Structure 1
Amino acid sequence: MSTINGAAGASRTTLAPPGTNNTRPKSTPGLIPTNNVTTKEGVTVRTRIDPTLTVDDVVRQLCVNLKVTEPSSNFALRDKDTDELIVNENLRKTIKNKANLKLVNAPNIEAAEIVQKLIVRDEKTLKMALWSLKKFIREEKFAQEFLTRGGLSELAEVICTEHGNTLAYALEAMHNLMDLEYGWSTFDNTFIFSVVQILSSPTSLINVCRPATAILKKLVEADPMNAPGPLIASSSRSPPIAPPGSVYRYGFQIVFQQMRREKGSLETVVNRLGSADTAMILHSMMLINSLLSHVSDTEWDEFISELERLNVRKAVIRLMSSHNIDDLTSSILDFQANIVRVTYRKKSTLVEPEVELLHESILEYIWKFSRVQEGRDGDGQVLKWRKLGFSTENLVSEFEQVGELGLDCLRNFVADDPEFFSKVVLEQLSRPAERRCPIARSSNEIVELLSEHWMIFAPAYSTSTTYQPFFLNFYRVHTLATHFFLRMWNESGSAAGDFSRIVALTRSQVKVALQSENVKPWHEVEHDFLDCEYRAVRDRQMQELEAEDDLLSKVPVRNLKEKITRESAEFVRQQRIQCLLQGAWFVNGIPIPANGLSRRPNGQWRFMRLDNGLKYLHYVDSAVKFPVRNGLEDLPERIEIAAISLIATGTCAPPQNILRDQLDLPPPTNLTPSPLSFSLLTATEGSLADQIAPDQSRWADWTDGLNMLRRDSGHVTSDETAGYIKALTEIGLKIKLLDLSGEKVDIPSGLLAGPPPSNTDFFFSDVI
């Protein structure tokens, strides 16, 4: 490339549309701001640029004025301070802000040079090339040229062979490239395995592990089911196939297959939840959440069992007590919501010992530590599982309501103290049949009580807005509650007919013991279950019964409530997204702590609106509010929803000069975070937006609406949204119950299925 001729520093020119004088009339000086344009050689030109010009026209006239012999298409303009590429969409804003500009290689020229440096692999230039690459790769023109010239394969080769900071820059560049929805559909298993090895290596630097973790997260989420376009149908047993060239061709199965090959890779990810580096914890949490959100049916049992073996719940509980950082809070709540789905799936998975070897081995373990002998009843029937407190010998039906979750809970109860379990079983068998406590049946009933308390209804997302460490300790809480049940049975001298009464006592105690769990210490939970007196519990329960309707505790009503809760959650979700589609004005906040990666807004106010495709947030910054037309014409800037990793709350303060009577905010203090603020954060590049809502309702609409749009989201942010879901559920339930009570329909506590038909010679008639 030839150099631009001229003297450094003092020249001045005015760039105007073709066919006009190049000099402004004397009556209008200063209407157009002056920008400094600097070349690579240090030549600076003070220039007034007409905002009606295109960027191509500006570059062309600059090249003419500076006597450049190369074609103007070889050049581009960038912001000197931020390196942002100047395009037609941001040219007017750049001129208005009097930004310092620089004349540089065009993106296609820059891309060609960087690809060449990747091929040559000169140690002196490679690192700088990668540093530039990770910044420029998000630009459309640059990315297309980079990919066309085979840059992707060269970058992948660098990742597979380099180390240290060079490797870190290469991984960051690859992660940034994967923000595009095209161009990276050619990764093979060798490359994915290399990333897994980098992630798992004990010698890898933190700045290497972070982008490696983020790349695996991207690959997990690039599942064919997430593809925006139509999918190619596959066989009935196989998932759909993404169209040729689509990047949505990876997913959980492909990534987990490579993690299996590298022994200890998942353990490394879980162990990094204890890292001293908050960003590393965040990336690890986000990868675990993505794996949980996208785990396939074929690997479900293996993956969940491995996570449980690694005690990931305990690691997250430690984070709950040691971290109050908003971005971690969001990921922890996502994990909590994922465990709700895991728990529901276990609860709805049938126990089939004749089919599932794992179920059979767990039952053998339970029977072994009961230390009782199989026998026969008075009718000559096998007497085995009834000795442990089941109602029948048919374990499929016994675990029908609680599924695999109930089986796991009983196993954990036994494993907590095998000697105690054996002692209790033998003690009950020594009593008359009508005085025995049905231990196994009690265990299953407590699983139902805890599921009801924590609303294990498999909603699209969790309605809890606070930490639930006791929920993550589900098995330990179940063991405590089962001990409580046994103690209440013994202290009250109960008989077989008193079973429902002890269940009601336990339900009451569960509510008391698990209240305020986000702040309550564990030792108090143990005290509530193990040290409370029967009389005190009974007196409190009688007071509660005076204010409650026994109808709500019946199984059909609880099932109806689950159904209405799911419907209410989906209704609120659609309402929140509609608010985003309508758009709203926000104040541009000041990040706390100050984030140097945040873009500085051009005005005090910002209007944001979600596009109909639910892929981009379009916005405009302004010094004053103005009527925004429907559509996106007034909103030149945009943020890609897929780039948003977290919606953090309470992150920024209002500007000092804001008209505070326009906002529902507390009195001003120096950089005090607003409770109505939120930030849209990426995994690596800081904040995309720092906003303050005008009121609590708008804040709830947007924070929850944006959370519901994210692929790996699983929770709501505001108590307001959770309250709406709860209120709609209660109203819907009351209406349904009024219909039944008005007709004086008797609601049974449960229904027993009749015997199956003896043959298939029947049909269902139409009911008129």
Structure 2
Amino acid sequence: MSSHITNGSKAPLVPTNNVTTLAGVTVRTRIDPALTVEDVVKQLVIQLGVRLEPDETPLHYALRDDTDELVTNENLRRKIKNKVNLKLVNAPAKEAREIAEKLRRRQDKNMRLILYSLQKYIREEQFANEFLKYGGLAELVAAIDEATGNTLAYALTAMQNLMELQYGWSTLDSAFILRVVQILSSPQSPINVCRPATAILKKLVEADPMSAASPAIPSSSRGPPIPPPGSVYRYGFGVVFEQMRKERGFLETVVNRLGSAEMVMAQYSMMLINALLTHVSDERWDEFIGELERLNVRKAVVRLMNIPDIEDVTSGILDFQANIVRVTHRKKTTAVDPGADASHALALKIIWEKSRMDEEVDEQGHILKWRKLGFENENMSYEFRDVGVLGLECLRRFVETATDFAVLVLEQSSRPFEKRCPIGRASNEVVELLSEHWAIFAPGYSTSTTFQPFFLDFQKVHSLATHFFIRMWGESGAVLADFPRISALVRSQIKVALRIENVRPWRDVEADFNCEYQLVRDRQMQELEREDDLLSKVPVRNLRAKLYKESYEFVRQQRIQCLLQGAWFVIGVSPGSPQRDPTRRPHRPWRFMRLDNGLKYLHYVDSAVKFPVRNGLEDLPDRIDVSMISEIGKNTCAPPPNVLRDSADVPGSAPSLSPLSFSLLSAHEGSLADLIAPDTSRWADWTDGLNMLRRDGGHVTSSETADFVQALTEIGLKIKLLDLSGEMVEIPNNLVAGPPPMNTDYFFSDLSG
């Protein structure tokens, strides 16, 4: 059977599309691409003699393809041109009402099939709107509360897909969140259940009022803004964490899954941990970070780094490193206050007790305690002013792991005052040197493109480097005035010991920190011939940190600007994807992609040839939701045959992966796009730009971008220093503030004249 559907102005042509009716009858028909989907459906209903119920019209029906994708005005022409098989089915609104009604009758024996259909259709806005309007959300929540096995997996996936909308799920309550937490807390939960459950919690964590795209209602207090009525941005870390605390084993189970043999389980667990780290609230920061540290999450991630073939979790590991940079920076900038914080007082108490020293009173009647451990005065808040809680934690770890700490302190105290190594100052200086090495300059900025297992074990490296500092002090016969010289020596050795840490074993690091003084000094002298000692001074370090932040933000804006301008890519071929003819050029191998000004969608068009694309989005009919992108995969696809001139694949063999390829990966839909950039610069622009655009991102993908940030920082630093070095201005290591005024009878002089 065949028919034709035209606008009446043209003669009928040969049928090119197969259309299957509700009764299972397949007809071949020619569809005029100039028509709207509504007109096509009307003519099909009439020509095929579809029996309508008394309250039905042709608008109650729609078209789908073999993959159940809804045919819309935007994709109708493409499906006609590609001769896609079509199906005449219930319209999304009608289908939504029927599924919601079936869910209401939860005793239906076909519940699993109903939820299976729901998870597919609920991504469509027409379907979702009607489903929500008909009370479907409450029925879906009830199904999640009661279902098990595959039925539960389908229900959770349906909820996950619904939550891709920016509306409609603001009524999810704490009982629902607790149910999802309980599902994930069970070690027996299978992957197909854990995957959507993890994605749901991640979405709830990210849906905090501070992340709302539209302005929220200002709060009358100093708390977070209040979301407007109906907004889904009313959850966030605090709401989710409150339910997490009710399941004591929840976080431990999630961390343990990082070591799962199922890489998908590890990948999703990493995604959730990163979301929690990114959005942790100030009120719960200490509690949550403390719990993660107790569970040794860093050690679990380091173990994950050593597993071969972990491309699926590489992006998550780099995100985790970027989050730990933020955690480390916050600790470093959190003041030590033993009078107000019991944990700070406890740490100081442990340090002092481990020293086995006794308090004394000097000639002026002042208590002599912390100065015996190498600090400059007895005010611990002041002593840790530059390294904060990070410095306190590192010193405590050093003291607790050094079996001979009391002997070490006693040995130093037995020496003349000028020759004693100030252990407390040395520990804090090593914290500063390691922070400089790993660029712990500001929250949200990380340009590491490789794994950093030693950074994730910051305190262990600190202990090793502090022992090295003390040993170099003794072997060189240093006095207190030599502190900057020993610091420069340790700084130089840190660079050597921690180089290319993604491939170096720990034993090599230990060996480098066990070198003899003369060998270290000789190598340092060679370095000093090439490097100005000025760069090691504390004020210059602080200046570098400020310039680093500015350089990173500049590069970030530049990368996003490239996305807004758009670019042409080759559509890649994923490994294992079927090819009709391995030697035949694909019909439309080119794709132009551009980010919209709202930074929400990547609009694109596929074409047989590259053509001049106008400004705006008129030439780009299709789009990808940026919020759907959970990861940017690298080296993921190969060029199609006969498209790129430099493709050197042997005919008949499997195509090799392109180093310029990347994929936009979704947490639950797989790859949204497989693309190959025209050159290294374009590849770096887009992979890093997309990573910097992601709400849960923060790491850099390419060495080109990382080197760019570093180069801008160093150039800016040298330009700033030219004004000082050219005038031979001496830069002190620190500035000593004078005494405060005795009274308020003073004013600031106007020096503008």
In the alignment, which residue of structure 1 is the partner of 2:36?
54
- 1:111 is the counterpart of 2:99: no
| Displacement of 1:767 | 3.4
| Counterpart check, 1:592 vs 2:582 | no
Q: Write out per-residue CA displacement over residues 675-710 of structure 1, whole angstroms, 9 at most, x where no aligned residue.
A: 000000011110000000000000000000000110
Q: What secondary structure does 1:730 align onto?
A: helix
In structure 1, what residue type is equivalent to 2:536?
Answer: S
1:602 deviates by: 6.5
Q: CA deviation at 1:176?
A: 0.6
SS in 2 for 1:621: strand
C-alpha contact 2:102 2:108 (8 A) present in aligned 1: no
What is the aligned counterpart of 2:541 among 543, 558, 563? 558
Do the aligned partners of 1:371 and 1:422 also contact (CA within 8 Å) in 2? yes
Show CA shifts across 1:135-189 (max 9, x none): 1011011000000001111101111111111111100110011001010001111
User: Unpaired segments of 5 or more residues in structure 2?
Assistant: 580-584
Which residue, out of 454, 458, 472, partners 1:470? 454
CA RMSD of aligned residues (A): 1.7
Report the CA distance shift for 1:766/1:167 in structure 2 as closer, same or farther (over 3 A): farther
What is the letter of the counterpart of residue 355 of structure 1? A
CA contact (8 A) 1:335 1:714 kept: no
Q: CA deviation at 1:122?
A: 3.1
CA contact (8 A) 2:270 2:316 kept: yes
Find the aligned partners of 1:607 and 1:216 in 2 and give their Cα distance: 34
Question: Which residue identity lines up with residue 37 of structure 2 in the other structure?
Answer: V
Q: Secondary structure at the match of 1:372?
A: coil
Match of 1:76 in 2: 62
Native 8 Å contact 2:429 2:487 kept in 1: yes
- Which residue of the other structure, out of 507, 524, 529, is the alignment partner of 1:546? 529
Separation in structure 2 between the aligned mates of residue 670 and residue 587 of structure 1, nearest angstrom:
18
CA contact (8 A) 1:221 1:252 kept: yes
Q: Which amino acid aligns with 1:576?
A: R
Residue equivalent to 1:719: 703
Deviates more, 1:186-195 or 1:64-73: 64-73
Correspondence for 1:608 among 564, 583, 593: 593
CA distance in 1, matches of 2:468, 2:560: 45
1:13 alignment partner, one of 3, 25, 29: 3
* Deviation readout 1:630-666 (Å, 9 max, x if unpaired): 10001000000000000011000000121325x8x99
Q: Is this contact kept in 1: 2:330–2:443, CA < 8 A? A: no
Q: Deviations over 1:532-574 (max 9, x none)?
A: 1111011111111111101111111111111111001001111
Once the two structures are superposed, residues 494-527 of structure 1 have per-residue CA deviations (whole angstroms, 9 ceiling, x without a partner) of: 2222222221211111111000101000111111
Paired with 1:280 and 1:606, the residues of 2 have a C-alpha distance of 33
AA aligned opposite 2:2: R
My pick for the range that moved more, 33-42 or 532-541, is 33-42
Task: List per-residue Cα deviations over 1:367-417 (Å, max 9, x = no partner).
Answer: 111111111122221000011111111111110111110000000001113
- Of residues 239, 242, 261, the one that matches 1:254 is 239
What does residue range 159-308 of structure 1 map to in structure 2 within 5 Å? 159-308=144-293
Contact 2:302 2:456 in 1 (8 A): yes
Following superposition, the deviation at residue 20 of structure 1 comes to 3.9
Measure the CA separation in 2 of the matches of 1:593 and 1:362.
56
**Could you tell me how far apart the structure 2 residues matched to 1:403 and 1:99 are?**
64
Residue 742 of structure 1 and its aligned partner are, at CA, apart by: 2.9
Secondary structure, counterpart of 1:652 in structure 2: coil
List aligned pairs for 1:326-337, cutoff 5 A: 326-337=311-322
Alignment CA distance shift 1:682-1:755 (3 Å): same
CA distance in 2, matches of 1:593, 1:14: 38
Q: Give the letter for the 1:291 counterpart.
A: L
SS in 2 for 1:45: strand
Query: The residue matched to 2:109 in structure 1 has which SS?
Result: helix
- Mapped partners of 2:749, 2:308: distance in 1: 61
**Structure 2 match to 1:642:** 627
Q: Which residue of 28, 35, 45 maps to 2:27? A: 45
State the one-letter code of the partner of 2:315. S
Contact 1:251 1:294 in 2 (8 A): yes
**TM-score for both structures, normalised by structure 2:** 0.96
- Look up the equivalent residue of 1:58 and give its one-letter code: V
Query: Alignment partner of 1:473: what SS?
Result: helix
Once the 2 structures are TM-superposed, how far is the Cα of residue 593 of structure 1 from its aligned partner?
4.7
- Cα distance in 2 for partners of 1:595, 1:115 equals 37
How far, CA to CA, are the matches of 1:677 and 1:466 in structure 2? 18
C-alpha offsets along residues 446-489 of structure 1, whole Å, 9 cap, x if unaligned? 00110111110115331110111100010000010011112112
**In 1, are the aligned partners of 2:586 and 2:640 still within 8 Å (CA)?**
no
In 1: Cα distance, 2:750 partner to 2:106 partner: 76
Q: Are the equivalent residues in 2 in contact too, given 1:461–1:716 (CA < 8 A)?
A: no
Alignment partner of 1:507 is 2:491: yes
Aligned-pair identity (%): 68
Contact 1:370 1:421 in 2 (8 A): yes
Shift of 1:278: 1.1
Query: Secondary structure in 1 aligned to 2:18?
Result: strand
Shift of 1:67: 1.4
Q: TM-score when scaled to structure 1?
A: 0.94
Query: Paired residue for 1:89, among 43, 55, 74?
Result: 74
**What amino acid sits opposite 1:428 in the alignment?**
Q
| Residues 353, 203 of structure 1: alpha-carbon distance in 2 compared, 3 angstrom cutoff | same
- SS of the equivalent of 1:645 reads strand
C-alpha change, 1:534 and 1:190, in structure 2 (3 Å) is same
Question: For the Cα contact (< 8 Å) 2:191–2:264, is it kept in 1?
Answer: no
Structure 1 residue ranges without an equivalent (≥5):
1-10
Deviation at 1:354, TM superposition (A): 1.0
Could you tell me how far 1:124 is from its partner in structure 2? 2.4
Q: State the distance in 2 between where 1:582 and 1:328 align.
A: 30
